[in-house]
Structures are given as C-alpha cells and as structure tokens.
A and B are shown apart, each in its own frame.
Chain A
Amino acid sequence: MKKYWGLLKPRLDTLSRLTALAIIFLSLVIVSPSFASAANIINVLRITSLTLMMAIGVALCMLVGGIDLSIGATIALTSILFGKFFQVGQSTASMIMGITGMLAVSILIGLVNGFCIVFLHLPPFLATFGVQQIVRGLAYLLTSGLVYSNFTEDFRFIGGGQLFGIPMPIIIAVILLLIISFTLNKTTFGYRVYAVGSNRESARYSGIPVNKTLITTYVLSSLIAGIAGIVYTSRLNAAEPTIGAEFAQTAIAAAAIGGISFRGGNGNVLGVVIGALILTLVSNGMTLLGVDSNWQVGISGVVIILSVLVDRNASVRKT
C-alpha cells in the first residue's frame, strides 16, 4: 500500500485537477443536451487549442519564475505585419515569406523581453508589460485602424482547414505540446528551465548558463505566440490591431489553474492542458446553458479563484 502511495503522491495535484475537469465535463453532459455532441466537442477542442498554445508559452516563462504579458500584443503585431506587407502578392511564396516574417518578428520581441529581463534586470512583469505597450502601440500605428482580410485559401487552411477530419489548430497545438513536453522532460534545456526556476542562485553556482536559459525561454514564449498568431489570423481571416487584448490574462489563468507555480520550477505541461480545458469548458458551457453575458465574466472569475484555492500548492501561509 505504502508503495502505491509513494507512486501516487507526486501525481496527486494532477489527479485532483483531472477530477475537477471530469466533474465539470460530466455536469455539462448532464445539464446541457447539446454539449456532448461530436460537433461541440470538436468545437471545444478547437477553442482550447488556441488558449493552450498561448498558455504553454506563458507557462515556460512561469517555470523560470517569470511571466509574459506581451503575448497578446505579439499576436496583434505579427498578424498586422502579415496583413499589411505579405499579403500583397497573394502567392504561396509571399505567404511563406509572410509566415517567416511573423515568426522572425515574434522572436525579436522575445529577444527584447529577454534583454530587458537579463541585462537591464527588470522584473519580468514590468519588462513584458512595457514591451506589450510598445508592441501594441506599433500595431496600431501600422494599421491606422484598417482591417486586413480575405487571405488566400492556402493561408486560411492553417487555421480553418481539416486534416483527416481534425481541425488544423488542434493538430498544431498537439504537435507543439509534444515538442515542448519532450523539451522540458528529456532535454538539457528542460532540466535547466526547472533548475533556474527552482533556485536561480544555486543554478548559477552549479554552472547552468542562467542568462542564456532565461533569454531562450522568453524567445520560445514569443515564438509560440507567433505561431498562435498565425493560426488565429488564418482562422479569423482578418488582421486587426485590437485582437488578443485579453490573451495574456487568459493564458496566465490557464497556466495557474493548471498548477504552474508563479515562483517557478513547479508544474508540468499536462497541467496546462487541463487548465486550458477547464477555462474553455466553463465558457462554452455557459454559452450553451444560455447564461447572460453579464454574468459570464464574473463566473469565470469565480472559477479562476476557486481552482487556485483548491490547489495544494496554495498552502496556507504561516507568516
């Protein structure tokens, strides 16, 4: 018995989160007849996949003890750049150039974040908040408020198409998830992320290149935001500077519900998946049940607070 407990104990958090998810899922199945349809489940998964992509990026930053508030703005800026500069030719070549450009810009934003945090010693919250302001300001400046739309069929396939009956965003999110999960669990970089997050000083003393790890993490987070931006722009078939105003908050909420600690070094990718699913299920469920828009905001707030309250990591302070 004791042996099994030893196996079970470290997984208790994930288990309790899975239970919460299952309870929400089952109650929705019972209460709403249209919920359990295949169409709706696909729908939920597709919405989750976007939240999930962004949440994984933010979760990486949180694992090293930081945060990334700039992802929404990154998505807006890259999407605008694509609409403005790369959609002119309407050819496949210009689309590939556009996508490369989007990814390059998102990497650049990640580098700026990393630079501010590592070399200017800014707290991550402030650095990414400031960068967020600048990036979104640039997005507004570039568009002068126009909406760019009607992209090519090829580009629209990325976010709107299906492969073997599965929507593309889900496939992309799953691939991304597998890559990040592998990176975190099986590579040196993954080990370094946890080490830096748990204790930066001792990581430094044990010879881990802390600065390099930090910068790589922020670049990864922005890059993932860039990928999410491509999917989002394609699905929307439009580029607007206003998109993503609440993405950072939603992503952070998903990661926090999924048990990624704000102090770093604690949490896993599976948790983030559960967190993103819980958030989407709640909002999807409320729409299906016909909950008034006015109440929806608050209920999601209650869900966020409750789910972090029941977390074991949220242990009671003695001091």
Chain B
Amino acid sequence: MNSQSLRSRRETLAHYYHKVPATVFLLFGMILFFSLLSDKYFTVSNIMNVIVQCSSGVGIVALASYLAICSTGVDLSLGGIVSLSGMITAKILTWDIPLFSQIRNNNPVFLLLIAVTAAIAAGAAIGSMNGLILARTKIPSFIVTLGMYKICETFSRVIAGGTTIRINGLPLFEFIGNGSLLNVQIGRRSIGLLPISMIIMLLLYIFFSFVMKKTRFGTYVYAIGGNNESAALSGINTVLTRYRVFLYGGMIAAFTGIIFTSRLTSASAQNGLGLEFDGIAAAVVGGAAMSGGRSTPGRTLIGALIISVMKNGFNMIGMSNSIQMIAIGCVLIAVVSVDTLRNRRRFV
C-alpha cells in the first residue's frame, strides 16, 4: 500500500468524521453514561422501549417542527393537531351512527382507513389554515400557530364531549401503536424488534430526507430559510413553499395523533398538548437554527432520540422529573451555544 492511498484514506476518514454531526457523539455519550449507572439500561428491550417512546411521542412531531424552523418559522399548533387528529380517529372508530356502525360490522379495515384518512385530513386542514395566513402575511408564526393550537384544543374537547373516548375490540387499530412486525421472546416477554410506530417514523423521515435533498420543494425551503428576499428574486414561489411547509407539518403531526390514540386505545383532549415544545427542542438540539435554512431530517431524528434517551435514562436511574426538566434545558442551551459559537468562528 503506497503512502498516497494511505493518506487519501486517512483524509476520507477525517472527512467522514467531520461529516458526522456532533450530536451523534452526545447521543452515544449519554447512552454510555446511563449504561454505567444502570445495569438494566443497555438491553435490547430497553433500547426498543426508547425507540418506541420516541416514535410515538416527540419523534414524528420533531420532523414537523424542523420543517417549520427550517423555513424560519415555528409551529406551536402541532400539539393541538396531535390532540385533534387523535380524537377524530377515535370518534370515527366508535361513532354510533348507522353508517359507521354498519361499516364497523362489515368491514373494519375500511373504517380504519376512513379514520386514518380523516385524521390526516384534519391535520392537513389545520396546517393549511396556518399556511394560508403565514404564507401571505407577515404575521409571526408564533402568534398564529398559538391561536390555532387553542382552536384545535377546543375542537378536540368538543368532539370528546366532555369525556375520554375508549376504543374496544379493534385489534388491528391497536396494532399501530402497540404492535410489531418481528418479535423475539426474552424470558416471559416478547420484545418487538420492528414496532409499527418506529416503521412509520422511519418511513416519514426517509421520505422527507428524500424530499429535502432531491426535490425542488426541499431546495426552496432551504433557500427561503437562507434568505427570503434573494430566494424570491431568484424566482422561487416563496408563498406556495411556505404554505406547503405548514401543510406538511400538520399532516405529519396527525400521524402522531393516530399513534397516540392507538397506543392508549383511548383519546382524551389532553393528549399531545405540550408536545410542540418537545418537538422544537428536539429539532434545535438536532441542529436546526431559528434563523432557518439549516439541519436535515436525519439530524432532527438524532435530536429527538437525545430527548427520548434523556427522559428514559433519568427514569431508569430513578432521578426526579424536575432534574430531567433542568437537564433538558441545560442540554438545549449547551448544544445550541456550542453550535452557534462554532459557526461564528467559521464565518467571521
């Protein structure tokens, strides 16, 4: 082996090292840290547990948050959308009107499809309302999506009719949030290695990685986030792009609503409220900048995993939730400051 190829290989390695986001090290550092403190931490079942917790909570919402942040906005309505879409799913699956009872008796799969479609449509509707206002006006996204969050919560409460909606006897639906395609038996427990919620999350992330990298929409979003004026000057339809960002965000959040309802086999108007801030934290820890135009879906996933690993880890070592809250705040500030300081050094 001659020295030249050795050097080039070393350069490639260095190249890859620099391409790996720093947050990956943070993630592994945390896993290592918790493994040292708890012997039950680094087990197959707990790893799958963290992944399921991530995919049925902050994971998917973080993707929607990332899209909004990438286009210099922020979407606070996501928690409301999770609540509303989950509630609509539950309502349709249990609605006692002749039409739906008939479908439920004859063809439950079809009813399930209707429910899931309706939930995603609701997410799309709320998202597009956000988008319509935010794309055309200069009102800050913070205030509009905050209002929309409240509207979602109200609809969710009204549909619930002052109670929680319970879903019984629909094993296929319960499978979405609780099932897995591949199970292994460890002791008395069967551990799901391919949970459906994880698959849904990964598919969404893969799809949006592709969208952001390979399609014009992705390029436009990064362009708007980089510099809105010059994006517009270069002929990009910024209004449409911004509209689509919030539309897709709403649809993505609806998936979390469906998974939530399926996982708990019941829907309460309270479900999912507050998740929007977890989503923002995850997206930002993953590397998104509030000024827009940065980070990728992959990095966002790492951010979401970090949040989930922290929550689970503190539970495993028996730390109180208040310390969890403080820790998440510290990590957020630390990661973002390291990130901004490094970037400033590069550019200044």
Asked if A and B touch directly (CB within 8 angstroms), the answer is yes
Report which residue of A249, A301, A304, A314 has the largest number of chain B beta carbons within 10 angstroms of its beta carbon.
Answer: A301
Q: Is the CB of B333 within 8 A of A301?
A: no
Most B-side CB within 10 Å, residue of A125, A130, A303: A130
Question: Whole-angstrom distance from the CB of B84 to the nearest CB of chain A?
Answer: 11
Chain A interface mostly: helix
B229 and A319 contact, CB distance less than 8 A:
yes
A132 interfacial contact with B, CB 8 Å: yes
Distance of A240 from chain B, by nearest CB (Å) = 14
Let me know if A10 is at the binding interface, CB within 8 A: no
A249–B229 touching, CB < 8 Å: no
The answer to whether B139 touches A314 (Cβ under 8 A) is yes
Closest approach, in angstroms, between the C-beta of A89 and any C-beta of chain B? 27
B140 pairs with A262, CB closer than 8 A: yes
1/0 per residue, CB under 8 A from B, across A6-50: the answer is: 000000000000000000000000000000000000000000000
In the complex, what's the smallest C-beta–C-beta distance from B323 to chain A, in angstroms? 7
Tell me whether B290 and A262 are in contact (CB under 8 A). no
Give every chain B residue within 8 A of A318 (Cβ-Cβ).
232
Contact with B along A294-316 (1 / 0, CB 8 A): 11111111111100110101111
Find B143's partner among A120, A131, A133, A256 (CB 8 Å cutoff). Answer: A256
Stretch from B91-99, B155-163, B193-201, B258-266 forming part of the interface with A: B155-163
Contact B326 A141 (CB under 8 A): yes
Whether A305 and B138, one on each chain, are in contact in the complex, defined by CB atoms closer than 8 angstroms, is no
Judged by a CB distance under 8 angstroms, whether B341 is at the interface is yes
Are A317 and B149 in touch, CB under 8 angstroms?
no
> Is A276 positioned at the interface, with any CB of B under 8 Å from its CB?
no
Within 8 Å by CB of A309, from B133, B281, B322, lies B133
Residue of B nearest to A134 (CB): B329
**Contact partner, B154, options A120, A141, A297, A315, Cβ 8 Å:** A297
Q: How large is the interface on A (under 10, 10 to 19, 20 to 34, 35 or more residues)?
A: 35 or more
Q: How far is the CA of A313 from the CA of B158 in the complex (A)?
A: 34
Check B151–A298 contact: CB distance below 8 A: yes
B interface, size bucket: 35 or more
Give 1 or 0 for each of B126-145: 1 = CB within 8 Å of chain A CB. 00000001011111101110
List A contacts of B323 (CB < 8 A).
137, 141
B144 touches A308 (CB 8 A): yes
Closest to B233 in A: A319
The answer to whether B150 touches A137, judged by C-beta atoms less than 8 angstroms apart, is: no
- Contact mask A209-228 → B, CB, 8 Å, 1/0? 00000000000000000000
Chain B residues, CB < 8 A from A141: 320, 322-323, 326
Additional A-B contacts beyond A123-B336, A133-B328, A137-B323 (16; CB < 8 A): A129-B277, A129-B280, A133-B325, A134-B326, A141-B320, A141-B326, A252-B143, A253-B143, A262-B140, A303-B147, A314-B138, A315-B137, A317-B136, A317-B138, A317-B239, A319-B228
Instruction: Point out residues on A near B: beta carbons under 8 Å.
Output: 67, 116, 120-123, 125-127, 129-134, 136-138, 140-141, 249, 252-253, 256, 262, 294-305, 308-309, 311, 313-319
Q: List 13 A-B contacts (CB under 8 A).
A: A67-B142, A122-B336, A125-B290, A126-B332, A126-B333, A133-B326, A137-B324, A137-B325, A140-B321, A141-B326, A298-B153, A305-B148, A314-B139
